[in-house]
Amino acid sequence: MRLAILLALILAVNLHFKECVAVGETNLNHIKTVYNRYMKRSYGDGTYYGEYPVGKGACTLDPLSPLATQPGWIRVATGQPNYQSSLGCGMCVEIHGKGDGLGLDPIKGTVKAVVNDLCEGCPKEGSMDLYINGDGRWKISFVAVDCPSVAGEAGKIQFRFQGSNPWYIKVQVRNSKIPTAGLEALIGGRFHCLKRSTDNFFVGMGLGRVSFPLRIRLTSISGEQLEAFIPDLKNDLSYPSNIQYSGIKVGGGPSGIQCFGQGDKAPYPPGGMMPGPVPTSGGSGGGSGATTTKAPVTQRPVTQPPSTQSPTTSGGGSTGTGFCQGKKKGVPLADPNDCHGFIICSAGQPNKFTCGPVLKFNPNANGCDHPHNVQC
């Protein structure tokens, strides 16, 4: 009886989110369109829109990440030709103007900007609303560029959950040099291609319970692939990682990308894709010239929210500080004393996690899994 009630509640929650989340229905043409913005210049009109409306941008990028707040860079809104169902969010552009147009404040020279919003009144491919004060409508052109490099953790990709739970995840990839075409999550022993939402997230539902650490694989619009682990689920916090795209010039191009926000639909294998071993630096990618780098675990957010953490973690315990000697850091390792546990080494110290009383850690899938899939 209790199980039936629980399943009914899960179904109701999933139906609720299906009604509330607008899926972007992205396809490979969206990816190619945004990719081409880096290859050639686009032309349109530039207008001013005053101060950036914090918390109201269609890209849901607030609070802004480090790459979006570098000195000399402004925020802009772009039209549907560049927004592309939110794929263009976070794209960095160089806008050029010669002062041609009407008004009091001509756009001259080069303006560096980050796309943070949708401009409903910008039908032209090259049109932008600039989030600075000014007057007039001016002829402009732009070309997309790699976002600026930032030293240290602030220059790495970040992940952010919104309204997520163990049965439904909505995760954003932010602070990246170029846009992310697709995100795959390892759920139930298989990678699944998540669907892109129009507010710049990737959504997974109906795939089973999501266990942590969550192994994910990212594909940039240029075809470069990276992997990372998100240690737990906490909404509305930015998880820093140790990965960053190399830029628009690295990768096999958009034509060979299999996951581009469409879910487990062609050309992605129906029912998901079996994972390979955790890649090492310099390893070959997932086909079509993609590049795969090592898969470090993301770090925990500094701020602690009131939500429940899953899985739980503790200190080094009985494994001792010598456990991490000669082992890879940032990669989940099976706990030799606990089939339900795993260890992540950081700064030479073991950090113990547990999958809970039911699930066991599967070293082949690098995540928590059903007991019948684990030999322990």
Q: What is the pLDDT of residues 281-290, one digit of tens each?
A: 332 233 322 3
Q: Give the model's confidence band at 371: pLDDT under 50 very low, under 70 low, under 90 confident, else very high.
A: confident
Domains of the chain: residue spans and CATH: 28-144 (2.40.40.10), 153-240 (2.60.40.760), 331-373 (no CATH)
Asked if pLDDT for residue 122 goes beyond 80, the answer is: yes
Q: Which two tokens stand for residue 55?
A: 């918390």
Query: Residue range 347-357: average pLDDT?
Result: 76
Is pLDDT at 17 greater than 50 in this prediction?
no
Lowest-pLDDT range, 138-142, 262-266, 320-324? 320-324
pTM of the full predicted structure?
0.74
Predicted confidence at residue 345, as pLDDT, reads 79
Share above pLDDT 70 across residues of the chain, in percent, rounded to a whole number = 78
Task: Assess whether pLDDT exceeds 60 at residue 300.
Answer: no
Query: For the chain, what is the mean pLDDT?
Result: 84
Q: What is the pLDDT of residue 99?
A: 97
More confident residue, 10 or 347: 347
Locate 172 and state its tokens.
């954003």
User: Which residues are bridge partners to 349 per DSSP?
Assistant: 346
Between CA 174 and CA 11 the distance in angstroms is 30
Tokens 């570098």 sit on residue: 70
Cα gap 295→274, rounded to integer Å: 16
| Interval 217-255: pLDDT, tens | 999 999 999 999 999 999 999 999 999 999 999 999 999
Confidence at 358, pLDDT banded by 50, 70, 90: low
